[in-house]
Structure 1
Amino acid sequence: MQDFAGAFVEFNIEFSEGGSGLDAGTVFSKNLSFNGDAAWTIRCYPRGGAPGQTAAGDGEHLAVQLVNLGSSRKASRLLFEAIALDRSDNKAAVPSPASLRFTCRCDLDYPNNGCQVTLPRVFRTSDLAAHCVVNGYVTVLCGLAVLQHNPIPIPPSRYALDLRKLEVRNRYGDPDVSFAMGDNNKLVPVHRKVLVARSPVFKAEFDGSMAESTMPVLRPPHEFQPSTFLAVLLYIYADRLPRKEEVVNDVPMVELLRDLLAAADWYAMDRLKLVCAKKLWEDVSVETVSKNLYYADRYNCRELRNACIHFMAAAENMRQVAVTDEYVWLAQNYPCLIEVLRSRIMAENI
């Protein structure tokens, strides 16, 4: 059985179209109650500046603070959603109804009594000023919901995994070497001949005179995370990438794909590298393209490198890319790539 309850409050915020007139720290508060929980306060900071939150005080983002003043629910999750209404078309001869222009959703740990959760960057102030001001006001809906889970969890079925292991054992025989993974040295048994067939690096390790050719337990000679190395093994045995639910330690998929591209370069598995590059490109955005460029350049993926540079060189993209955290990281740590990008932009503008 699951216990679910939720409610919304509406903020009508005085807001000039230029975004001026509100100082950082300006706050609007409303109380919210549902299903017996009457002690919630939602505080809206149109230009950031929530107490104790440096990131929220940049003046460029609307921040929200959720304050739990008296409710307590164990084994629960708190769901938050904010919606900014787009009514920019109301200036037309025939006004259109309000539509959902911007949304922000997140799943949070349920805070203890008297605690608060601050979301410092819910919406960009410039977006609200450009698209959501009607008669000097912006309408923002903020909602909370509680989902209390059944306390008796059932682990995912291992039926398909167990059958695949049986199939592998019948096809290749018993494993003849194991890799020690992570800080707890968990052993992952594998077949030398399978690894040799799929990677020239493994072939050099296991078929030559290197010590690895006879040792029964090995530790990967690199610093890739266990989730990355397990993804390499999955590709070796099944010729596919892991699905989201198969990724250990809940590593974000974009981070796994980047590390997997690096591992493919390490093990000289060119097709795997291109498979990762293709997936990274399919989901590329102004937020992710900078670090994708770094991985493509460092780990010799020319196709992804060229695609990222072409994406970033477009003026409409570059204006947004340049203010992201990943671009700042790239400029600070790998200025040579920034110079390559600048040269490309200058060449296209000649």
Structure 2
Amino acid sequence: MATRCRSSGFIEIKVDFAGSISRPAIDHTVRSDDFSAGGHIWSVEFHLTGDTTGNGVYFSLSLQLVNESKSKSVKAITDAFLLGRGGTPSSSHGKRWVHVYPTPDGSPSSRNYLKFVKRSVLESGYYVTDGYITFMVGVIVLGVGDSPIPVPSSDIADHLGHLLDHADSSNDVTFSVGLKTFGAHRAVLAARSPVFKAQLFGSMADAEMRCITLHGIRPETFRILLRFIYTDALTAGDDCDGDEMQSSSDIDLFQDLLAAADMYQLDRLKLMCARKLWGCVSVETVAKILGCAELYNCSELKSECLDFFLLEKNFKIAVLTHGWFQLMQSFPSVIDEIRARVPQT
């Protein structure tokens, strides 16, 4: 029985052990059915071989690349192991190796693994069921999808970022935010945000306006939001990871961005901001960040903050912060959630 996916394939093989040990000749070979892995056809051969050192008789195994590869070579990982009674994989009688088919010196496209398992082990009976021993062999082909014709990585974000940076000649909408203006392209904004689509192409008055004034958002926040829309990248906070972003300005920036992402239904940006804010969480900041998560419907960030809050050592300090009192005033339902989950003493 064989199964496969794009880069790997597995085959389960039953060998007539009783018949094999009655003919312990070196040339006695059992060959599996062909199976597919990584776009290639393979087969497995089992041999009953005598060991000239006098250590006994062994079953050996080889993996054969049946079809010729269009590329120069195929590199594959092979896993082979015995199955015990009930189909339990053996932890002591299994082998793994990596091999290139064919070898650089032009030798046959197979790899023998001598002394795979000693015959005396099989004669113990644990691995024999109804006269048969069962092997499982898996093949993982490395580099599946590689091609002699290289394809460069996508650079659409670079192109759209360039378009944003040089929007003066091609933009068809301008946003006035505070004392700054930002040029943009209606089609790009509409493709990325359903809110912008309704605003710029729907029945709203903004659809006819060349310059739109935005309120309730800071210029720096809108600049980062706009660049995310064009490049799918969050440029703010690139210079530091979560453990280093502890300042109030860091938290304020990402709270503003999370609010803007929620407003324009940019779910990926929203979660990216949530991750940044989670990196800012401490006993001093958790209440403030929890309030932001509740206000802007970020359930993932809220859940993490609640779990952090409920650690006893954190709770005792967090309830003394200014953020806790703000949380009590603005989100009493969150306070109720916390109290319901705090163990009663």
TM-score category of the 2 structures, normalised to the smaller one: 0.3 to 0.5
Larger radius of gyration: 2
TM-score (norm 1): 0.47
TM-score (norm 2): 0.48
